[in-house]
Amino acid sequence: MKSKIKSESDISQTLEIDQASGRRKGLKRWLIVALLVVTTVITIVIWKRMENSNSVQYKIQEVVHGNLTVIVTATGTLQPTNKVDVGSELSGIIKSVEVDYNDRVKVGQVLAKLDTSKLEAQIAQAKAALESAKAKVLQAQATLSETRSKLLQLQRVWELSNKKVPSQSELDAAEAAFERAKADEASAKATVSQAQATLEAYETDLSK
């Protein structure tokens, strides 16, 4: 009887050992399966990321009008795309410079001003010369009128006196004086024209 009980106890212990061994084997299988699943998931995630990083991505933007600003940062010497030599038709001393180095300028903008004091003095002198020339014209015209009247008077007397008075030399002198007066008037008028042209030239230079 005792031997039978002992045998049953051994069987029970053997069964418990087998069950524990089976549970350990099952746990190992689940651990292996779980490890494989995790490894597979990690591999898929890494592959997807690598695929996305190697793929070409495009950004779409609507086309609009605008100013394009390009900024270049470098060390060196700038060369202009267009170069214009600025000069003046007049010579003189620069009174003031209206722009600074590298300033942007517009068409028609004043860049510098010349000292016009000398030119203004020349204009004043030209005006005075013009007025003097006009006065000489008036004087020449008065002389011409006087010599004409004298010549006409002598010619009338000469005809009335039956060509006896005045003498021929007096008539010749009166005619010569009249011709000189005409020449003086023409010269005075030419001087006026020259003075007027000089004044206009100075005034044109001043307006530049």
Three-class SS state of 24:
helix
- Contact (CB, 8 A) for 172 and 124: no
| pLDDT tens digits, one per residue of 186-198 | 999 999 999 999 9
Distance CA 3, CA 16 (A): 20
- pTM > 0.85: yes or no: no
Using alpha carbons only, give the angle 37, 38, 39 rounded to the nearest 5 degrees: 90
Domain assignment of residue 157, yes or no? yes
- Tell how strand 94-97 and strand 112-114 pair up: antiparallel
Residue 104 forms part of a structural domain: no
pLDDT of residue 63: 79
Q: Is residue 73 part of a domain?
A: no
How many domains does the structure of the chain reveal?
2
Domain annotation covers residue 98: no
Coil, strand or helix at 68 = coil
pLDDT given for residue 12 in this prediction: 54
Same domain, 44 and 124: no
Please identify every stretch of the chain with a pLDDT value under 70, giving residue numbers as ranges.
1-24, 51-58
Q: What tokens were used for 150? A: 């004298």
Domain encompassing residue 145? 117-207
